[in-house]
Structure 1
Amino acid sequence: MTLTRRSFLAGTLLAGGSLWAASSLWRPSAAAESRQLKIPELIDARDKSQSVVLKAQIGKTSFFPGRESVTLGYNGSYLGPTLRVHRGDDVEMVVTNALGEDTTVHWHGLLIPGELDGGPHQTIRSGSTWRPVLPIRQPAATLWYHSHIHGRTGEQVYAGLAGLLIVSDDDERALGLPSEYGVDDLPLILQDRQFENGTLVLPQGMMSVMHGRRGDTLMVNGTVNPTARVPRGLVRLRLVNGSNAREYDLAFADDRPFHWIASEGGLLDKPVELRTLRLAPGERAEILADFSDGRPATLETGPDGNLPMMMGMMTAAANLGRIGRETVVRFEPQGKPALESKVPDRLHAYERLDEVKAVRRRRFVMNMGMGGMMRGGPSMGGMMRGGMGMLGINGRTFDMGRVDEQVRLGDIEVWEVSGDMMAHPFHIHGVHFEVLSRNGSAPGIRDQGLRDTVVAQGPVELLVKFTQTAMASPFMYHCHILEHEDNGMMGQFSVS
């Protein structure tokens, strides 16, 4: 057992047994008073001579007053700083591992070669330092970084190993979008976590493997019941679903509209007015919210829509999740109204791929247990070898030594993705893609833009162009419910 895992045990992070055990008499929702939203430190690579220093470390965090939890973080006790890089730059990331166990740092959404990607093959041993130099050659976007150590990604991310990564460029700056970090440009990392007596615990058990770890308490940037003071005008919200498994159904309590302006790959062609927005694990979205009327506003989420009926009943019985809507973050407008609060008519015309040029079609089915068997997957005995090895893609559980697909550099392909039993957020490393169709019909409104993560249950067709090499180290494709990924719902591909 590693030092980190011993520390978790000593700090009760692993205490508490199954997520579905009877809940404590201590109620976090009742115990939490509103607290000022924490804004992670901003590190701009240009201010650091293009060399950013990160230290993955163990710490202690008080999510509730007087109650400490053992946690993990980068340069701190929980989560990490926001990193800002600029298109055209080459940025050295100096990452030191002080965890007492292996880790990696995956630059989720960054278009870089496989050996720099930070997937399971770029292991950072305890006490060592990794120094990749990342070429930033993509448009402005909201990305993130997090652990991707095989078999323990869910555990390490749950404990705090994640942070925001912002790519900036001249085209975006010219639009005049809100850009004062922490004032009218806010990072919002959404997470749900489980607490017992005010202390963070790690859900265990079969249900946590099959449907992902879920919690009874919502947090934003590690803040429980947060309030953010914002100017009276347009505010840019960079939303990241950093939960292990929970899906969010976001809307303002007063039903005010907002404008969706960017997907995972960057800015859309033009703003899209919405009143609700779903966000699955790994997905990001940028929106513009207008607070010029000066009225306080509450961003809420509906119940997790990606729970099977039986699990939803068990969740309610264990008092995890509420009936109706839950508060995510409250906004309190301050000061005088802005002189002008205008949403741009146009944003960024990204280059669209030509489906006619696709040279190959591949099909991927994310399998869960009996669903995998019914589709001709492995036997029950084969699935159960090694414990929870019943999850996979195309009937095969992940194998670090096996390259599942081989792709040619520069090719355009169609990938058809679907999933068993529930919706799965499918993430592909090293690419951005477009959604061609969903369930045999035209894509939905939220399918537009360039993506790196997409929710799939019924078939979803993706148009993918491969622009980055992955020869020394392959890229991953996987479900971004982290417990699915850790237990075999992942494959890998080379690009040459």
Structure 2
Amino acid sequence: MPRAPGGSTAPTWARPCGPSAASVRVDVTNDLPEVTTVHWHGHELPAAMDGGPHQEIAPGASWHPSWRIDQPAATTWYHPHPHGATADQVVRGMAGMFILDDDASRALDLPDEYGVDDVPVIVQDQAFDGDGQFRRAEHPLSPVGHLGDTVLANGTIGGYHEVTTDRIRLRLLNASPSRVYDFGLDDGRQFALVGTDGGLLSAPHRTDSVRLSPGERAEIVVALEPGERVVLRSTSPDLGTDPWTGRFAGGDDRFDVLQLRASDELTPSPELPDQLAGTPGLDPDDAVATRQFRFSGVSINDRRMDMDRIDETVLADTTELWEIETSDGAPHNMHVHGARFTVLDAGGGRPGPELSGWKDTVYLAPSTTTRILVHFAAHADPDLPFMIHCHLLRHEDRGMMLQFVILEPGQEPGRPPAAHQHEHADRDTDR
């Protein structure tokens, strides 16, 4: 698999699902000289374990979150989430991947040998100062924030993977703070898209490209011939903007990401199954509420993030219909903590197969409305909130984020606590 010198963007491999390993505990120690958090992006878990801005970890302190895995097999990840400083810490490289398996996914004929034919590809764009250190790169005209001129795959510039099987599964993660990618192969060949944010699709989707905005994931299976070399590349993504805005949002940029070098002899892989997973099965008729959210500038519904304010309340184990409008001409996307959703329509059109599965993050083109069905887990807590925010991290840091709590019927929302800072490295702070 690609080298990852320096370690901070190296994949973390965790397969905690299954009858014998249904829970996970992660020990986090903050060796930075500043406060941080670690958010488990894509996980359904109690708000106290979410790692959002309320779960601060002081310098020198430790945090020991634990939770039960109760969701389908998926590619998830983690990154810092300190209020107002997320982009800066992500630019410095902190991102890692979780791989969740379950019995159903292991029974499928999919490439699944970690580091051999099942390979994490964590993609970040970076800029470097004269000493070779990461630096922020924000053009004054950029509507999105940091856009680096160098792309790293698992912390490696110009990385390659030596392929020994005739099919390889790449788990693509856009861990960049602002950039949208349109991934494909340099010769235009098709591949099979088999999974997105929340897990496997119902069936493989044959395509030659997949667009990922910050925070989104995709699992693709690429077929190779002995001895050939193929490059995973990002071409100019269609952002839905005017040409001027698109130029300064990275819409004209192209990058080589990772080279696949096939051995002269390749071990045969099984044909991909025709069916992978069940459909999400959410029905608009089951929605218990409809909500509207308008993304504009760095606010949602004309409100900017307030750590002391609960903006929305939802009921545990229910489904809601959300209508998300963008009105400022700039690119955005939306991530929902502690929940999964399906896309009903994107920009007024029927979603393609790449949006047919479970999602937790979705791109929002300018001047459009996207409708989603959101299902909330049974993790009620009237005081500790989850987040709704734009995952273009400069937007999030400047206030494009709201808070919601999950309630049981009859409960009333409480008041968010002051940031729960884990101050002593020698004290267990599980909740």
Q: TM-score, normalised by structure 2?
A: 0.87
CA distance in 2, matches of 1:449, 1:365: 24
Which residue in the other structure is 2:310 paired with?
403
Which residue in the other structure is 2:203 paired with?
270
Which residue in the other structure is 1:353 paired with?
282
- Alpha-carbon distance, 1:134 to partner: 1.5
| Alignment: residue pair count | 398
Distance 1:339 1:323, change over 3 A: same
Q: 2:160 aligns with which of 206, 218, 227?
A: 227
Output aligned runs, 1:5-154, within 5 Å.
Answer: 37-38=2-3, 77-88=7-18, 89-154=22-87
Letter of the structure 2 residue corresponding to residue 326 of structure 1:
F
- Alpha-carbon distance, 1:100 to partner: 1.4
CA distance in 1, matches of 2:245, 2:350: 31
Instruction: Confirm whether residue 200 of structure 1 aligns to residue 134 of structure 2.
Output: yes
For the residue of structure 1 that corresponds to 2:71, the secondary structure is coil
Q: 1:432 aligns with which of 316, 340, 344?
A: 340
For the residue of structure 1 that corresponds to 2:339, the secondary structure is coil
Which residue in the other structure is 2:374 paired with?
464
Distance 1:180 1:364, change over 3 A: same
Higher relative contact order (CA 8 A, sep 6+): 2
For the residue of structure 2 that corresponds to 1:98, the secondary structure is coil
- Alpha-carbon distance, 1:192 to partner: 0.8
For the residue of structure 1 that corresponds to 2:27, the secondary structure is strand
CA distance in 1, matches of 2:180, 2:195: 19
Please identify, of 302-311 and 332-341, the stretch whose mean Cα deviation from structure 2 is larger.
302-311
CA distance in 2, matches of 1:233, 1:365: 46
For the residue of structure 1 that corresponds to 2:110, the secondary structure is coil
Which residue in the other structure is 1:441 paired with?
349
Instruction: Confirm whether residue 494 of structure 1 aligns to residue 411 of structure 2.
Output: no
**Does the 8 A contact of 2:110 with 2:270 survive in 1?**
no
Letter of the structure 2 residue corresponding to residue 443 of structure 1:
P
- Structure 2 unaligned blocks of 5 or more: 408-431
- Alpha-carbon distance, 1:224 to partner: 0.7
Distance 1:274 1:239, change over 3 A: same
**Does the 8 A contact of 1:292 with 1:338 survive in 2?**
no
Q: 1:181 aligns with which of 88, 103, 114?
A: 114
CA distance in 2, matches of 1:308, 1:102: 38
**Does the 8 A contact of 1:290 with 1:341 survive in 2?**
no
Report Cα offsets for 1:437-472 as digits up to 9, x if no partner.
123332233211000001113111111111132433
**Does the 8 A contact of 1:178 with 1:234 survive in 2?**
yes
**Does the 8 A contact of 1:105 with 1:119 survive in 2?**
yes
Which residue in the other structure is 2:295 paired with?
366
**Does the 8 A contact of 1:260 with 1:272 survive in 2?**
yes
Instruction: Confirm whether residue 416 of structure 1 aligns to residue 323 of structure 2.
Output: yes
Report Cα offsets for 1:133-174 as digits up to 9, x if no partner.
111111110000000111111010110111001111111111
CA distance in 2, matches of 1:160, 1:325: 21
**Does the 8 A contact of 2:237 with 2:251 survive in 1?**
no
- Alpha-carbon distance, 1:337 to partner: 2.8
- Structure 1 unaligned blocks of 5 or more: 1-35, 40-60, 62-75, 316-320, 369-390
- Alpha-carbon distance, 1:263 to partner: 0.9
**Does the 8 A contact of 1:413 with 1:465 survive in 2?**
yes
CA distance in 2, matches of 1:101, 1:323: 36
**Does the 8 A contact of 2:116 with 2:163 survive in 1?**
yes
Please identify, of 259-268 and 285-294, the stretch whose mean Cα deviation from structure 2 is larger.
285-294
CA distance in 2, matches of 1:314, 1:340: 43
For the residue of structure 2 that corresponds to 1:154, the secondary structure is helix
CA distance in 2, matches of 1:401, 1:341: 53
What is the percent sequence identity of the aligned residues? Answer: 40
- Alpha-carbon distance, 1:77 to partner: 4.8
For the residue of structure 2 that corresponds to 1:472, the secondary structure is coil
Which residue in the other structure is 2:384 paired with?
473
Report Cα offsets for 1:194-219 as digits up to 9, x if no partner.
124444222257546x4121011111
For the residue of structure 2 that corresponds to 1:483, the secondary structure is helix
Which residue in the other structure is 1:454 paired with?
362
For the residue of structure 2 that corresponds to 1:86, the secondary structure is coil
Distance 1:77 1:438, change over 3 A: closer
Which residue in the other structure is 2:301 paired with?
394
Q: Give the aligned CA root-mean-square deviation in angstroms.
A: 2.0
- Alpha-carbon distance, 1:422 to partner: 2.1
CA distance in 2, matches of 1:184, 1:347: 18
For the residue of structure 2 that corresponds to 1:356, the secondary structure is helix
Report Cα offsets for 1:8-43 as digits up to 9, x if no partner.
xxxxxxxxxxxxxxxxxxxxxxxxxxxx8215xxxx
- Alpha-carbon distance, 1:96 to partner: 0.9
Letter of the structure 1 residue corresponding to residue 305 of structure 2:
F
Q: TM-score, normalised by structure 1?
A: 0.76
Distance 1:131 1:417, change over 3 A: same
Report Cα offsets for 1:266-321 as digits up to 9, x if no partner.
01111000111111110000000011343211111112444763355568xxxxx7
Please identify, of 302-311 and 272-281, the stretch whose mean Cα deviation from structure 2 is larger.
302-311
**Does the 8 A contact of 1:234 with 1:292 survive in 2?**
no
- Alpha-carbon distance, 1:359 to partner: 1.3
Structure 1 ranges of 4+ moved more than 6 A: 321-324
- Alpha-carbon distance, 1:227 to partner: 1.5
CA distance in 1, matches of 2:335, 2:133: 31
Letter of the structure 2 residue corresponding to residue 363 of structure 1:
Q
Report Cα offsets for 1:366-418 as digits up to 9, x if no partner.
111xxxxxxxxxxxxxxxxxxxxxx1101111111111101111221101112
CA distance in 2, matches of 1:301, 1:412: 35
Distance 1:433 1:232, change over 3 A: same
Output aligned runs, 1:303-382, within 5 Å.
Answer: 303-306=236-239, 309-310=243-244, 325-368=254-297
